[in-house]
Amino acid sequence: MQQQSAQLRWEHRTQRPLFGLALAFAVAYAVPIVRPDADRDIVGLCSAVEWVVWAAFALDYAVRLALAPHRPAFIRTHWLDLGAVLLPMLQPMRLLRLVSTLLLVGQRARMASQIRLTTYVVGAVVGLLMFGSLAVLSVERDAPDGNIRTLGDAVWWSFTTMTTVGYGDHAPTTGLGRMLAVGLMLSGIALLGVVTANIAAWFIARFEKDDMEERRQTEAIRELTEEVRALRGELAALKGTPVEQPLE
């Protein structure tokens, strides 16, 4: 119990710093793509920031694993975290660091009970739109037959892909770009399902609350009626007169 409490304290204390590092990762990932003519020193600094952020999340996973009361159970229930930590080691690609960071940020957001579902969904939509646009622009900009050349084209493509509209005016032509498209489409469908379920749950809870309030008022009226009848009976007994029966 004490070890589990230490794990929860660690997760609570590191939540905000890790999200701050995630924002730094977003900036470092975006700069070389938005500014392809940036100096080599700036590009190198951005790459270093990306690796530092990934290392921070890897360290966080290692500490949480060390503090877990049952480590095998922790690994089984947090296998996605482990995969995200190991993913960038497979090949030194910036896109792998992007995917792993998104997965790790998402896992930590789910652990945080104070983050509302709606806030998480909105953040997930904005994050996927931003990173999806940057990722597809980085792989499609120099493609011979590509038609996603600017950030505006990439954002428009990401939006139509996530909403599963798919106008077809912009589409990836590389294999990696199409993999990104599949990921965005699946993410868009999943997020739409979460939003729909959240709205339905809100309406159901609202109706149940109104129904409970109506039942409570009805019960209060019934109890008040019984009390009035009892008082009338006591008053009639004191006066020695028969009690009038209430009209049905």
Query: Does 111 score more than 80 pLDDT?
Result: no
Residue scoring higher pLDDT (103 or 183): 183
Give the up-direction half-sphere exposure of residue 143: CA atoms within 13 A in the CB hemisphere.
Answer: 20
**Cβ contact 54:96 at 8 Å:** no
Mean pLDDT of the chain: 77
Q: How far is CA 31 from the centre of its chain?
A: 25
pLDDT tens digit sequence for 22-62: 788 888 888 888 887 778 888 889 888 888 888 888 888 88
Are residues 19 and 102 in contact, defined by beta-carbon separation less than 8 angstroms?
Answer: no
The pLDDT tens digits for 121-164 are: 677 777 778 888 888 888 888 888 888 888 888 889 888 888 87
Please state, in angstroms and as integers, the Cα–Cα distance from residue 10 to each residue in 61, 150, 197, 233, following that order: 11, 42, 32, 66
Tally the C-alpha atoms within 13 A of residue 211's C-alpha that lie toward its C-beta: 6
Q: What is the DSSP string of 165-233?
A: ---SSS---SHHHHHHHHHHHHHHHHHHHHHHHHHHHHHHHHHHHHHHHHHHHHHHHHHHHHHHHHHHH
Please state the rounded mean pLDDT for residues 74-103: 64
